[in-house]
Every structure is written in structure tokens, then in C-alpha cells.
Amino acid sequence: MTLLKVEDLKVYFPVRGGVFNRKIGDIKAVDGVSFDIEPGETYGLVGESGSGKTTTGKAVMGLNNVTEGKIYYDGELLNADKKGQKVDIRKDIQMIFQDPYSSLNPRKRVLDIVAEPLRNYEKMSKKEEKETVQRLLSRVGLGPESMVKYPHEFSGGQRQRIGVARAIALKPKLIIMDEPVSALDVSVQAQVLNFMQEIQKELNLTYLFISHDLGVVKHMCDRIGIMYNGRFVEEGLKEDIFNDPQHIYTKRLVAAIPDIDPRNRKENIDFRERVKDEYSNSYYDYFNEEGLAYQLKPITDTHRVALPEKG
Ligand SMILES: Nc1ncnc2c1ncn2[C@@H]1O[C@H](COP(=O)(O)OP(=O)(O)OP(=O)(O)O)[C@@H](O)[C@H]1O
């Protein structure tokens, strides 16, 4: 059964102006997005800055008001009525943010940081709480001495591990990861990503993985949705997106991935130039007059592309 189902999600933010600070328009941060995530998979949301990835993730977390559309978790409507929402569902979904330093309170010790969700949701004695935190930290590869330290005493990679320990404290099923390694040195990125994959297998977690970095997404994700201007331009299995991109925007993103093999460099530069030209020449075949993507249409069982009606 599908774990998360997002149906025609729209999140608009009001734009105010004029002398009376009236609403004069909307920023359509997310403008009709639909996707499903199956249990145990890693679903990637990719797009450039401002394309609406974080807003989508926050809407699933209940951190943004939904303008229109439906979000179902395990068959249950999440955005029906906030008061009616079951606490259990909220425990099931956790979010990890980009910069582990700013998302961990610098004035709190690790014990208090990791114990915070436990204190909010579970009734535990101090002893039980300490044992639980110790177990969670050991799961992410940190020793018990970490409990009395502050975030600044750790490296970036370790801080992201503390973030993971906190996120898994309530035994969630779905974790939304928003650019979880973008703030880390490239050298530790792979380490943290591999560790996140191990934890996923061990705890049977489902990931919604948000990133602008296609290289990272290729490493992590089973299926991918490509966002542009609040809409999807393409969605498919990792293989569909990387081996057979159909939308000009996806083609350009995929062509821009640097090739580490210097022997391919010249060939790649030429290819990139060709795709760039194709992008400028065919932009209006792929976007409407407002610069928005069309509705997604299936081209195979696994692959959907935003092409105009006639296309
Ligand atoms: N609370 C808000 N109020 C007004 N506008 C907002 C708010 N949050 C996001 N936006 C706007 O919505 C659009 C989408 O932002 P969002 O953060 O979802 O994009 P993103 O793809 O995650 O980009 P980034 O990677 O830079 O975070 C942007 O134009 C942004 O300025």
C-alpha cells in the first residue's frame, strides 16, 4: 500500500503591497503537484532554488498551510482538519534539514536535543530517557560521551548524525530530508549518504529526499520528480530520468552533471552546448506562455512527462 499520496497540491503565499498592505497576488510556490511514495523507497524531489521542493516537504510535514489538494499518509487524509489529526501520524513523519548546525539548538546538550521529541510524545523516566538516547546515538555511530557535549563540539557530518538520531527517536516511517548533505564538505557527503541508506534498511524507513544536486539524487533515489516553477516537468524511475530524459529542462539538468573522467571532457562540453541550444530553441514547446509546465502525461508505466496536448 502507498505510504504517501500527494494529490494536486497547491501552496500559495500571499503577496501584499500598496498603502493598505492588501493582498495583491500570490506566489505560487507549489502549483499542482501529485506523486506517490511506496513503503521503503527513496523518492527524490529535484529542482533549482525556488522551484518549490522545500514548500512541498513542509506541506507534508504540516508546517505549511495547504491552499488546495490532498495529502494522504497510509490512506489517511493529513490535511483535513488539524484538530482531528492523530498524534500517531505526526510521530510517523519526521524532517531533517540542510544545515545541521542551525537546526540543532547550540545552547542545548546532545542529550536534551535528542530527547526533545521523546519528551514531547512519550512519558519516560529520566533513566529510560537516557538509555534511549544512548541507544539512538550508538545507532548513528556516536558514543555515550556525546550526550554531555554541545553541537559546536562536533564536525558537520557528526552533527547530521545527531539530527538523524533525533529524527528516528519516535520510530518514524517516513523521513523528509531537505538537502541533508548540501552544507557538508564533499568528502563527508558520501559517508553521510551511505550511513543514511544503512539506517533506512535497518529501520525500514521511507525517504522523501529533497535536493538540487542530481549526483546525490542518483546515488540515493529509486524514483525522482523534477520540479520547475512549482510544477513537475518529469517523473520516473532513476533510470528513466538519467538514461532517457524527455523534457528539455530535465535534459539540461542531466547534461550539466560533471563527468569525472577527463577523457570524456571534450565530448561532454560539446554535448552540453548542444542541449543548451536545444533548450533556448525549444523552450516554448515545453512551457506555456506563463513559463509554466504542462500537465504530466504517462509515456510508460513508470515515466511521466509534462508535454503540451498536441505533443
Ligand atoms: N513563507 C513563505 N512566504 C512567502 N514566500 C515563500 C515562503 N516560503 C517559500 N516561499 C517562496 O516560494 C517559492 C518556493 O520556495 P521553496 O523554498 O519551496 O523552493 P526550493 O525549491 O526548496 O528552493 P531552495 O532550495 O532555495 O530552498 C520561492 O519563490 C520562495 O521565495
pLDDT at site 277: 87
The dotted CATH code for 4-229 is: 3.40.50.300
Residue among 16, 24, 27, 249 to mutate when testing ligand 1 (max atoms within 8 A of CB): 27
CA distance 307 to 141: 46
Q: Give the residue among 166, 158, 41, 157 at the shortest CA–CA distance from 94.
A: 166
User: Where are the domains positioned within the chain?
Assistant: 4-229, 247-311
Candidate of 10, 55, 177 to mutate for ligand 1, largest count of ligand atoms within 8 Å of Cβ:
55
Give me ligand 1 centre to Cα 239, in Å: 28
Quote the pLDDT of residue 270: 82
Residues with CB under 6 A from ligand 1: 13, 27, 29, 47, 49-55, 212
Mutate to test the pocket of ligand 1, among 54, 176, 249 (most ligand atoms within 8 A of CB): 54
For 202-257, how does the pLDDT look when each residue is reduced to its tens digit (9 = 90+)? Answer: 999 999 999 999 989 999 999 999 999 999 999 999 999 999 999 999 999 998 88
Percent of the chain with pLDDT over 90: 66
Distance 189 CA to ligand 1 centre (A): 24
Distance of CA 53 from the midpoint of ligand 1 (Å): 8
pTM: 0.91
Give me the pLDDT at residue 91, please. Answer: 87
Confidence of residue 264 (pLDDT cuts 50, 70, 90): confident
Range 298-307 average pLDDT: 96
Residue 311: is its pLDDT beyond 70?
Answer: no
Q: How far is the CA of 311 from the centre of ligand 1 (A)?
A: 30
Of 208, 264, 271, nearest to 245 (Cα)?
Answer: 271
Closest-lying ligand 1 atom to the alpha carbon of residue 210: 22
pLDDT band at residue 275, thresholds of 50, 70 and 90?
confident
Overall size of the chain counted in residues: 311
- Higher-confidence position of 181 and 33: 33
pLDDT band for 101, please (50, 70, 90 cuts): low
Confirm if 248 and 278 have CB atoms less than 8 A apart. yes
- Give the position, in ligand 1's atom list, of the atom nearest the Cα of 55: 18
Which ipTM value was assigned to this complex?
0.95
